[in-house]
């Protein structure tokens, strides 16, 4: 038996006792993680995966947003370990005093990969439903082709748009609607004192969209990037 | 179908319909011109959203590291300021807290260090009395033998510990450590561990006669620990 396998066995026992809430030391687990993460030993990493995969699966299934992702638990389990692997630096690892802190971090990895997945589909973000209107449009054969730019292009787009927004109200409405995916009703509910009624918010949106539509630079920007669509 | 009886709604009204306001529904759903216009507006809105959504927000992972207090001060301040006015990040933080609460982690309890009695081993001398370590007369011999240390005897409370360090016969250039623990009825309860700072380098069992050995070691300094439940015998800065 190699020392690493012995370590993994000790760690398995410790982990079992840990989740059984038996006060104990967790030095072997911490050491196994140390070898996997800091020393980058591939075999240690495989043992970490084997050891904690069932626990991570439980966490994925228990995450409040997991049901709305439409993905399998395995998908997020793999991503969570990958996240742990890439996000935890030796310096960060040095901050951990016991296995509980490592487990917390692994839970964070589960959470962040699920949220990343949802962020990539704004219409599925927390609390938002598909629109009835979209259904009617598609019934009438009106297709919505959303062009997704790469990160650099997105930043350029925002740099241009920023200069086209004319006042604080427009900037606020733009941020709420397009950067935070808030509906005008929701904005009015939260910041009602700043607007006469929800129709004012719609009129501001109308003005912004009309200006961006007339804007040659933005139109040219869209044209020149045509054909570089993702997803 | 008589869509032109009422005037076409404004873009603002079409946007409202797009967002679920039913006020002009009867007109819009029967007016091809308005539906086409809604299509244009919807395309524009979704384009902006798809490319700018959460553009100013910290990543979900960084937000989590903020919650776990793992970020440097300058990021903590920036994220605190952002979260204070960003409803989405506040929601995600609340969700993370809910998840942590729903998946509680056991306390690791009083640390082993608090429960364990520690005895620091004290050097009594080497087995052949009179030897005081590599002296002026010995460097050539020592080099030939690979700088082997003679067995050293340590006292730790009621225990006695003999340690010998030799060249590792299997791994050239490495060292091997052999030891014997006396004074324990069940020495196999013990485990030998070698530490460097906070890092557990390696460990091995102690057999039923109190013997232990560890090979393939670097020629460096280690803290040696003999550990059984509630007791630790510690030998600090053992030079191999
Ligand atoms: Zn119409
Ligand atoms: Zn945010």
Looking at chain B, list the stretches that DSSP marks H as alpha helix, in order from N- to C-terminal side.
Answer: 11-18, 25-28, 32-52, 60-67, 73-85, 87-102, 112-115, 139-145
* Contact residues on chain B for A145, CB-CB shorter than 8 A: 43
What pLDDT shows up at residue A123?
54
- Domain boundary assignment for chain A: 4-119, 130-230
Sequence-distant (6+) residues with CB within 8 A of A210 are B11
CB B214, CB B206: distance < 8 Å: no
Asked if pLDDT for residue A128 goes beyond 70, the answer is no
Which of A26-40, A215-229, B10-24 comes out lowest in average pLDDT? Answer: A215-229
Asked if pLDDT for residue A202 goes beyond 90, the answer is yes
Which is more confidently placed, B68 or A129?
A: B68
Asked if pLDDT for residue A150 goes beyond 70, the answer is yes
Q: What is the mean pLDDT of residues A37-42?
A: 88
A206 and B108 within 8 Å at the Cβ level: the answer is no
For chain A, say whether B208 makes contact (Cβ under 8 Å).
no
CB A138, CB B33: distance < 8 Å: no
What pLDDT shows up at residue B116?
62
What pLDDT shows up at residue B139?
36
Helix, strand, coil fractions of chain B, as percent rounded to 5: 35, 30, 35
What pLDDT shows up at residue B229?
62
Q: Tell me what percent of the residues of chain A surpass a pLDDT of 70.
A: 87
A83 and B87 within 8 Å at the Cβ level: the answer is no
Question: For each successive 10 residues of chain B (240 residues), what is the average pLDDT?
Answer: 72 91 88 94 90 92 95 91 92 95 74 63 70 37 49 90 91 92 82 82 84 91 83 87
B61 and A83 within 8 Å at the Cβ level: the answer is yes
What pLDDT shows up at residue B125?
75
What pLDDT shows up at residue B117?
78
The chain A residue lying nearest B205, using CA atoms, is: A6
Give the range with max mean pLDDT: A74-78, A217-221, B38-42: A74-78
Give the range with max mean pLDDT: A8-12, A28-32, A64-68: A64-68
B221 burial type by CB count under 10 A (0-12 exposed, 13-18 middle, 19+ buried): exposed
pTM: 0.65
**Looking at the domain B106-239, which fold is it?**
Immunoglobulin-like (2.60.40)
Q: What is the mean pLDDT of residues A117-143?
A: 71
Per DSSP bridges, beta strands B191-196 and B199-205 are antiparallel
In the structure, what pLDDT confidence band is assigned to residue A212 with cuts at 50, 70 and 90?
Answer: very high
For chain A, say whether B217 makes contact (Cβ under 8 Å).
no
Ligand at shortest distance from the CA of B66: 2
For chain A, say whether B104 makes contact (Cβ under 8 Å).
no
What pLDDT shows up at residue B107?
67
Helix (H) or strand (E) segment spanning residue A87: helix A73-87
What pLDDT shows up at residue A176?
93
A202 and B16 within 8 Å at the Cβ level: the answer is yes
What pLDDT shows up at residue B105?
84
How many Cβ atoms sit within 10 Å of the Cβ of residue A114? 26
For chain A, say whether B30 makes contact (Cβ under 8 Å).
no
CB B64, CB A80: distance < 8 Å: no
For chain A, say whether B39 makes contact (Cβ under 8 Å).
yes
Which is more confidently placed, B48 or A227?
A: B48
Please state, in angstroms and rounded to a whole number, the distance separating the CA atoms of residues B188 and B228: 9
Full 3-state SS string of A119-158:
HCCHHHCCCCCCCHHHHHHHHCCCCCCCCECCHHHHHHHH
Asked if pLDDT for residue A2 goes beyond 80, the answer is no
CA of A219 to the centre of ligand 1 (A): 26
Sequence-distant (6+) residues with CB within 8 A of A101 are A95
Asked if pLDDT for residue A80 goes beyond 90, the answer is yes
What pLDDT shows up at residue A58?
94
Asked if pLDDT for residue A10 goes beyond 90, the answer is no
Give the rounded distance of the alpha carbon of A125 from its chain centre. 10
What pLDDT shows up at residue B148?
55
Asked if pLDDT for residue A69 goes beyond 80, the answer is yes
Please state, in angstroms and rounded to a whole number, the distance separating the CA atoms of residues A33 and A118: 29
Compare CB distances from A137 to B35, B51, B102 and report the shortest one's residue.
B35
For chain A, say whether B112 makes contact (Cβ under 8 Å).
yes
- Both tokens of B82, joined, read 């952002």
ipTM computed for the complex: 0.81
CA distance B39 to chain A (A): 6
What pLDDT shows up at residue A110?
98
A146 and B54 within 8 Å at the Cβ level: the answer is no
Sequence-distant (6+) residues with CB within 8 A of B209 are B180, B187
A142 and B38 within 8 Å at the Cβ level: the answer is yes
How many Cβ atoms sit within 10 Å of the Cβ of residue A216? 7
CA distance A161 to chain B (A): 10
Ligand at shortest distance from the CA of B92: 2
Question: The sheet that has B199-205: what strands, in order across it?
Answer: B117-120, B231-239, B221-228, B191-196, B199-205
In the structure, what pLDDT confidence band is assigned to residue A130 with cuts at 50, 70 and 90?
Answer: very low
CB A110, CB A60: distance < 8 Å: yes
CB B177, CB B164: distance < 8 Å: yes
In chain B, the largest separation of any two C-alpha atoms, in whole Å, equals 117
CA of B33 to the centre of ligand 1 (A): 5
- The radius of gyration computed from the CA coordinates of chain B, to the nearest angstrom, equals 36
- The radius of gyration computed from the CA coordinates of chain A, to the nearest angstrom, equals 24
Ligand at shortest distance from the CA of A115: 2
What pLDDT shows up at residue A144?
80
CA of B46 to the centre of ligand 1 (A): 22
Compare CB distances from B199 to A34, A65, A205 and report the shortest one's residue.
A34
- Mean pLDDT score across all residues of chain A: 85
Between helix B32-52 and helix A132-139 the angle, nearest 10°, is: 130
The chain B residue lying nearest A96, using CA atoms, is: B70
* Contact residues on chain A for B100, CB-CB shorter than 8 A: 104, 107
- Interface A:B, Cβ pairs < 8 A: 199
DSSP string, B16-47: HHHTT--TTHHHHTT-HHHHHHHHHHHHHHHH
Please state, in angstroms and rounded to a whole number, the distance separating the CA atoms of residues B58 and A209: 27
């Amino acid at each position: 038996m190699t020392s690493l396998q012995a370590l993994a066995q000790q760690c398995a026992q410790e982990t079992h006792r840990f989740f059984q809430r038996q006060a104990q030391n967790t030095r072997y687990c911490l050491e196994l993680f140390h070898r996997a993460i800091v020393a980058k030993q591939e075999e240690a990493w495989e043992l970490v995966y084997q050891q904690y995969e069932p626990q991570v699966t439980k966490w994925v299934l228990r995450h409040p947003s997991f049901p709305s992702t439409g993905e399998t638990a395995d998908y997020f389990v793999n991503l969570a370990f990958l996240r742990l692997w890439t996000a935890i630096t030796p310096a960060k690892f040095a901050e951990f005093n016991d296995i509980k802190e490592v487990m917390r971090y692994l839970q964070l990895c589960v959470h962040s990969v699920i949220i990343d997945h949802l962020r990539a589909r704004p219409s599925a973000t927390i609390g938002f439903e598909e629109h009835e209107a979209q259904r009617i449009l598609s019934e009438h054969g009106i297709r919505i082709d959303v062009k997704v730019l790469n990160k650099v292009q997105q930043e350029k787009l925002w740099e241009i748009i920023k200069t086209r927004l004319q006042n604080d109200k427009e900037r606020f409405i733009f941020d709420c609607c397009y950067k935070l995916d808030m509906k005008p009703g929701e904005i009015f509910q939260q910041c009602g004192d700043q607007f006469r009624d929800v129709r004012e918010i719609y009129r501001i949106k109308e003005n912004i969209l009309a200006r961006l539509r007339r804007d040659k630079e933005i139109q040219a920007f869209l044209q020149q990037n045509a054909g570089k669509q993702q997803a | 179908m008589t869509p032109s009886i009422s005037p076409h709604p404004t873009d603002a009204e079409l946007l409202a319909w797009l967002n679920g306001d039913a006020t002009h529904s009867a007109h819009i759903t029967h007016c091809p011109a308005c539906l086409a216009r809604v299509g244009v507006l919807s395309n524009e809105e979704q384009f902006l959203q798809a490319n700018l959504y959460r553009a100013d927000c910290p990543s979900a992972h960084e937000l989590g590291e903020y919650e776990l207090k793992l970020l440097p001060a300058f990021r903590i301040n920036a994220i605190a300021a952002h979260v204070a006015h960003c409803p989405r990040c506040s929601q995600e933080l609340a969700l993370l807290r809910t998840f942590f609460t729903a998946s509680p982690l056991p306390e690791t309890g009083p640390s082993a260090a608090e429960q364990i009695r520690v005895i620091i081993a004290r050097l009594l001398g080497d087995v052949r009395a009179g030897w005081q370590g590599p002296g002026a007369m010995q460097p050539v011999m020592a080099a030939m033998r690979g700088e082997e240390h003679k067995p050293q005897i340590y006292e730790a409370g009621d225990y006695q510990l003999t340690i010998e360090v030799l060249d590792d016969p299997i791994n050239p250039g490495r060292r091997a450590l052999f030891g014997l623990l006396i004074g324990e009825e069940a020495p196999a309860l013990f485990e030998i561990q070698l530490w460097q700072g906070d890092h557990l380098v390696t460990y091995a069992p102690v057999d039923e006669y109190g013997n232990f050995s560890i090979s393939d070691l670097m020629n460096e300094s280690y803290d040696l620990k003999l550990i059984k439940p509630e007791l630790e015998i510690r030998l600090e800065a053992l030079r191999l």
